[in-house]
């Protein structure tokens, strides 16, 4: 069986929804007001990918499992491709300036360039550029 989802929703628990929205707004993300209330918001990553930021008590209603503390444990690594090496640096620097933190230093593999940051709740976001022709 194979399938190709038409849209992807990443669900992330957050401690403070207003602070999370302010943080990601500083990185240039927009939010869908139709799917925003005091418990959650839909952050638009692109036309088919969204991050649902949910306050922890509301997030807990979707799972019987314990919510991990992303500042102590890694639950998921979220990676997204951008158009240039400069954009990688721009986004990570914006995240640091907005109160997040960088993870290590940037990595240059020749055909790929990456750098990661942690958001306010400790979720790890890897930003990378890849020269697909050089990768071949």
- Hey, where are the domains in the chain? 8-135
pLDDT digits (tens, 9 = 90+) for 63-86: 999 999 999 998 899 999 999 999
Can you give the pLDDT at residue 16?
98
Q: What is the pLDDT of residues 121-136, one digit of tens each?
A: 999 999 999 997 776 6
Model pLDDT, residue 100: 98
Q: Which band of pLDDT confidence, cut at 50, 70 and 90, is reported for residue 105?
A: very high
Q: How much is the pTM? A: 0.90
The chain-wide mean pLDDT, for the chain, equals 94
DSSP secondary structure, 77-110, as one string: EEEEE-S-HHHHHHHHHHHHHTT-EEEEEEEE-S
Q: How far apart are CA 77 and CA 72, in angstroms?
A: 14
Helix (H, G, I), strand (E, B) or coil at 35: helix
CATH code for the part of the protein at 8-135: 3.10.180.10
């Amino acid at each position: 069986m194979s399938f190709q989802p038409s849209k992807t929703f990443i669900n992330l628990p957050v401690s403070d929804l207003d602070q999370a929205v302010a943080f990601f707004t500083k990185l240039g993300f927009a939010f869908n007001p139709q799917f925003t209330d005091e418990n959650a918001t839909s952050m638009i990553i692109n036309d088919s990918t969204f991050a649902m930021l949910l306050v922890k008590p509301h997030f807990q209603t979707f799972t019987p499992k314990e919510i991990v503390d992303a500042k102590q444990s890694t639950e998921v690594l979220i990676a997204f491709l951008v158009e240039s090496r400069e954009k990688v640096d721009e986004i990570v620097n914006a995240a640091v300036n907005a109160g997040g933190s960088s993870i290590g230093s940037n990595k240059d593999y020749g055909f790929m360039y990456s750098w990661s940051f942690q958001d306010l709740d400790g979720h790890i976001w890897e930003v990378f550029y890849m020269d697909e022709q050089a990768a071949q």
